[in-house]
Every structure is written in C-alpha cells, then in structure tokens.
C-alpha cells in the first residue's frame, strides 16, 4: 500500500525500512477510561493515534514527486504471495527450521537483495551465533609471531589517575576474586604522583605482589609544561580537525596509555608458569568478577584455537561485553565466548598484538582522536590490527565510574551497571559469527605535532621533552 500511495519519492526507503524498524507506541492515559470493566475499549485518543499511523508519511509534509513506476504493484495477488513467502522464510530461520544461523552470509531476502544483519550493531547484539567446529571451520593463515601464546600467567595492569573512591572498590573486589595474588603481579601505572593514591597502593603491597610504574610525562606532574597546558604550544597551532586548540585534559589519557603499553611490554616478567605473554588491561573504576582469572586463562586457550577461523585473527579477550552498559549480555550463549566487534577495553592484549601496534605507530600516533581505544579501532580499519575481539557471554567486570578519568562530566548511561551482580562464569567454547569493522571518524583533540611526535618517540624508546620543544620550533619554521 505504501509503495502505491506514496508520491513523495520515499517508496524504496519505506520498502527497505518498515520491515525492520517498526515503531511501537504505548499510550498511558490518566482519565477517560473505565477500569472496572472486563471489555477492552478503544479510547478517542487511541483512535486519533491509529488514524495518524495509517498515514505515517504525513510527517514529511505535502511536497510531491513523481512515483517510481518500478515500485507500483501490478499483480496484487503475486505481490501478496511473495510477502507471505518472505514472512514464512523469516519465521523458519528464526525457529531454526532452516540451516541458516546468524553467521550465514544470507539472512533475509528483501527486494531482490540480501541483508547482512551484522552490519547493524543493534541487530547484531540480539542475533544467535553459530557453534564453532574446529574440524569444519575455514582457516586463515597467521604467521607464528602473529599467533596468541595462551600459556603462562596473566598479570593485571591498572591505569590509575586520582579516582581513589573507585579504585578502592576495584581492589577490594580483586581481593575477593580468584586472582592468584601469591604468584601473579599486579601492575599499577600511576598518571602522576598523587599522594593519596600512592599511599593507598603502598597498603596493597601486604596482600599483592605490586609492580609500580609512574608515568614520567604525566599532566599532573607537569601542569604548565608539556604534556600539560603550555600556552606556547598553541602559538602558531592551527587546531585539530574542528579548529580546537590543544588542551592537556584531552590528551593526557592517550599519552598515559601509550607510555604504559610500551613500558609493560618492555618488562620481562616470569612466574612459576614461565614467561608472561599476555596482560589484562583495566582502568581504576571496574569491579572485578569472582571467577575472572580462570575465565581469562581458559579464554586465552579458546582464543588460540579460534583465531585462525577469523579473518585477520583476534585482538584479545573483552572483559566487559556490554561496553559499560551500552549493550546487553548474551546470556543465552551459556559457556561460550563469541566473536564481537572490537571497540574498547577492558581487555587482554598479548605481545603479538603489541608488535603489530609498534609496527603501526605512525598511523596510531597521527590519527586525530584523543582516545586510545578509537586510535586502535582505526588500526583495525586499516587492517593493521584484528577488528574482532572475543566477548564473554557474561560480564567479567562491571564499570562503576560515572565520570571520565580526566574530566568531571557525568555519563548517565553508565549508571546502568551499578546494580548488576557479577556471577562466576568461565567460557570453554567459541561461537563464531561474521563481524563488520567499526567506523572510526576521529573525534579530534590529537592533531598537535608535538603530541604526535611524543607518541612516536614512546614507541621508538626515544621520548624526550626537551627535544619536543626544539621539534615544535623547527616545525613552525618549516610549515609557517
């Protein structure tokens, strides 16, 4: 009906979007309805809304266009039968009658085309996945130095600034978990010498084997010089992609993460289980689940078995598949890890992935985005990192921070996880599915040549602030 009646040039859009984007409107009326009757009555308000919904395209105004004749139904009976056939097919796929899972390339036929449901993040999070059969899986080649080495212990690395009220809860939950604190070190990377945080970490040393790292280029310790707010660095600077001047509060976290990553992987740590190949990276505001360590160590073996079945490999293990409450847990998957789109941490990373990042330092350091995770997503888009990460069916950690590490902005969406109780979970199987690459538009804040040069120097091991000021003066002379 819409294809025949719509004269506003929206015919194809309607045919494409109505089947998957149907709107449900719920009306709560305070008065005008008799509640003490057993009969359902349609009120005047509902009638008016129903009339409106029968002509939804009136929202777009009264401008008319010549209707594309290819959209006009010339054989109503045939059109109706095709519609019923499509509905039957969808129901059979949904009920598992046909052999098409969500990992199939061909999901639902629509208008002579095939729709890949995994191109839609919201749809993707709800669809089932195919059980992984290593014997039947198509394999993709990974060089030996690209493969994950799953054996050995996994130290936890905490990126810490000044939110002690969160960090205290994080460490208390770590104490209650299965983390083997008698054997495996906890690495604390401080973004500055903040007295109360340093003092608290000292108290941890009676219960944990603590390795303390202090970011030597922290904004806290250098508030009026690089990488802090030095106004000389804005003289002659044209701004980022949006024209914004350099702001230390924006750049601090990426500087810290980049330094921390290089520092951690430069340290050779050996436990009773041998050399350490993988680390779990977290921030200071995550509650730790009770079975996290077993889940990670078992999950790394699942990853090592599954990574050749995924084009480009797998970047690591995601510890919070809800991405701080923005997605739902996939509880129906039971004890399975599933292929999901890499977006952010907390996560595990191995030396194989760090080698790829180091080889791609130029792309990472020059991407105009102040977020370290979006910068890694950019590398995945460029095929310099895997774009797939393994997500657990249940959360292994939950995010409790309501504001950013270097900002005071409260994020209301992050309140969702506070009441979630973490339960023991260990995944021993892999559920595969097709995963599209995430887009990384670049949110700015990272276009200053000095920030980019310092980032390069961190990867090359030649970081020197004095050199950066000389570099900036020479840069202005060359490009003025």
Spatial distance between the Cα atoms of 252 and 455, rounded to a whole number of angstroms: 12
406 or 134, greater pLDDT: 134
**Helix, strand or coil for residue 22?**
coil
**Helix, strand or coil for residue 390?**
strand
413 or 145, greater pLDDT: 145
148 or 9, greater pLDDT: 148
State residue 114's pLDDT score. Answer: 31
Beta-strand pair 336-341/388-392: antiparallel
The residues with which 349 forms a beta bridge, in sequence order, are 279
For residue 392, report the phi and psi dihedrals to the nearest 5 degrees: -80, 150
pLDDT tens for 219-238 read 999 999 999 999 999 999 99
Q: Strand ranges (DSSP E) for 367-428? A: 388-392, 397-399
Spatial distance between the Cα atoms of 70 and 81, rounded to a whole number of angstroms: 18
Buried b (16+ CB within 10 A) or exposed e, 117-153: bbeeeeebbebbbbebeeeebeeeebeeebebbbebb
Q: Is the pLDDT of residue 365 over 70?
A: yes
Please tell me the least confidently modeled range out of 77-91, 167-181, 198-212, 382-396: 77-91
State residue 477's pLDDT score. Answer: 85
For all residues of the chain together, what is the average pLDDT? Answer: 80
Q: Is the pLDDT of residue 339 over 50?
A: yes
Q: Is the pLDDT of residue 340 over 80?
A: yes
pLDDT tens for 35-64 read 566 665 666 666 666 665 655 444 333 333
Confidence of residue 239 (pLDDT cuts 50, 70, 90): very high
pLDDT above 70 covers what percent of the chain? 67
Nearest of 387, 379, 391, 386 to residue 437 by alpha carbon: 387
Spatial distance between the Cα atoms of 108 and 120, rounded to a whole number of angstroms: 14
Q: What angle do CA 346, 352, 353 make, to 5 degrees?
A: 40
Task: Extract the tokens encoding 345.
Answer: 């941490």
Mean pLDDT of 441-462: 95
Mean pLDDT of 397-422: 62
State residue 119's pLDDT score. Answer: 34
Please tell me the least confidently modeled range out of 110-114, 252-256, 414-418: 110-114
DSSP 61-120: -S------GGGS-S-HHHHHHHHHHHHHHHHHHHTT-SS--TT-S--EEETTEEE-GGGS
Confidence of residue 479 (pLDDT cuts 50, 70, 90): confident
Question: Are the C-beta atoms of residues 307 and 314 closer than 8 Å to each other?
Answer: yes
Beta-strand pair 397-399/286-288: antiparallel
Q: Is the pLDDT of residue 181 over 50?
A: yes
Confidence of residue 416 (pLDDT cuts 50, 70, 90): low
Q: Which residue, chain included where needed, has tokens 């129906």?
A: 332
Confidence of residue 145 (pLDDT cuts 50, 70, 90): confident
**Residue 15 C-alpha from the chain's centroid:** 32
The residues with which 157 forms a beta bridge, in sequence order, are 187, 281
Mean pLDDT of 313-321: 97
Query: Which residue numbers belong to the known binding site for substrate?
Result: 191
Q: Running DSSP on this structure, what letter comes out for residue 410?
A: B
Q: Is the pLDDT of residue 453 over 50?
A: yes
Task: Extract the tokens encoding 479.
Answer: 């490009």
Sign of CA dihedral 377, 379, 381, 384: negative
Please tell me the least confidently modeled range out of 213-222, 313-322, 332-341, 431-440: 431-440
Q: In terms of C-beta density within 10 A (0-12 exposed, 13-18 middle, 19 or more buried), how is residue 371 classed?
A: buried
Spatial distance between the Cα atoms of 77 and 65, rounded to a whole number of angstroms: 27
Q: How far is CA 414 from CA 399, 403, 444, in A?
A: 7, 9, 23
Query: Which residue numbers belong to the known binding site?
Result: 191, 285, 399
Query: Which residue numbers belong to the known binding site for Mn(2+)?
Result: 285, 399
Q: Is the pLDDT of residue 418 over 80?
A: no
The residues with which 84 forms a beta bridge, in sequence order, are none
State residue 440's pLDDT score. Answer: 87
State residue 76's pLDDT score. Answer: 62
pLDDT above 90 covers what percent of the chain? 58
In order of their start, the domains of the chain are 1-72 (no CATH), 75-115 (no CATH), 144-479 (3.90.550.10)
Mean pLDDT of 3-29: 54
């Amino acid at each position: 009906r819409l294809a025949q009646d719509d004269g506003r040039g929206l015919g194809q859009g309607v045919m494409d979007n109505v089947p998957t984007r149907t709107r449900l409107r719920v009306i709560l009326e305070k008065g005008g309805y008799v509640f003490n009757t057993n009969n359902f009555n349609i009120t005047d308000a509902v009638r008016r809304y129903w009339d409106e919904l029968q002509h939804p395209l009136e929202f777009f105004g009264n401008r008319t266009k010549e209707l594309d004749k290819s959209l006009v139904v010339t054989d109503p009976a045939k059109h109706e039968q095709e519609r019923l056939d499509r509905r039957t097919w969808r129901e059979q796929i949904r009920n598992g009658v046909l052999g098409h899972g969500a990992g199939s390339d061909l999901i639902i036929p629509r208008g002579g085309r095939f729709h890949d449901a995994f191109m839609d993040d919201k749809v993707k999070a709800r669809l089932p996945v195919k059980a992984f059969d290593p014997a039947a899986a198509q394999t993709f080649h990974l060089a030996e130095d690209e493969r994950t080495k799953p054996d050995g212990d996994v130290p936890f690395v905490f990126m810490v600034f000044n939110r002690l009220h969160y960090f205290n809860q994080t460490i208390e939950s770590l104490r209650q978990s299965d983390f083997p604190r008698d054997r495996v070190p906890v690495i604390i990377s401080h973004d500055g010498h903040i007295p109360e945080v340093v003092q608290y970490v000292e108290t941890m040393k009676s219960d944990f084997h603590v390795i303390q790292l202090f970011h030597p280029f922290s904004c806290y310790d250098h508030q009026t010089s690089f990488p802090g707010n030095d106004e000389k660095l804005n003289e002659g600077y044209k701004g980022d992609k949006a024209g914004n001047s350099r702001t230390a509060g924006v750049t601090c976290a990426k500087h810290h993460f980049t330094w921390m990553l290089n520092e951690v992987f430069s340290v050779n740590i050996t436990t009773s289980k041998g050399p350490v190949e993988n680390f779990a990276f977290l921030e200071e505001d995550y509650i730790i689940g009770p079975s996290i360590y077993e889940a990670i160590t078992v999950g790394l073996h699942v990853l090592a078995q599954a990574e050749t079945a995924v084009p480009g490999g797998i970047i690591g293990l995601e510890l919070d598949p809800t991405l701080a409450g923005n997605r739902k847990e996939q509880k129906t998957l039971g004890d399975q890890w599933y292929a999901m789109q890499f977006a952010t941490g907390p996560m595990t990373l191995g030396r194989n992935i760090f080698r790829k990042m180091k080889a791609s330092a130029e792309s990472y350091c020059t991407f105009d985005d102040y977020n370290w995770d979006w910068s890694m997503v950019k590398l995945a888009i460029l095929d310099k990192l895997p774009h797939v990460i393994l997500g657990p069916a249940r959360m292994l950690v939950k995010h409790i921070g309501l504001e950013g590490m270097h900002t005071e902005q409260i994020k209301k969406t992050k309140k969702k996880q506070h009441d979630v109780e973490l339960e023991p979970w260990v995944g021993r199987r892999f559920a595969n599915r097709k995963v599209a690459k995430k887009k990384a538009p670049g949110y700015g804040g990272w276009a200053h040549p000095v920030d980019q040069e310092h980032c390069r120097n961190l990867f090359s091991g030649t970081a020197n602030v004095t050199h950066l000021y000389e570099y900036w003066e020479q840069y202005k002379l060359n490009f003025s």
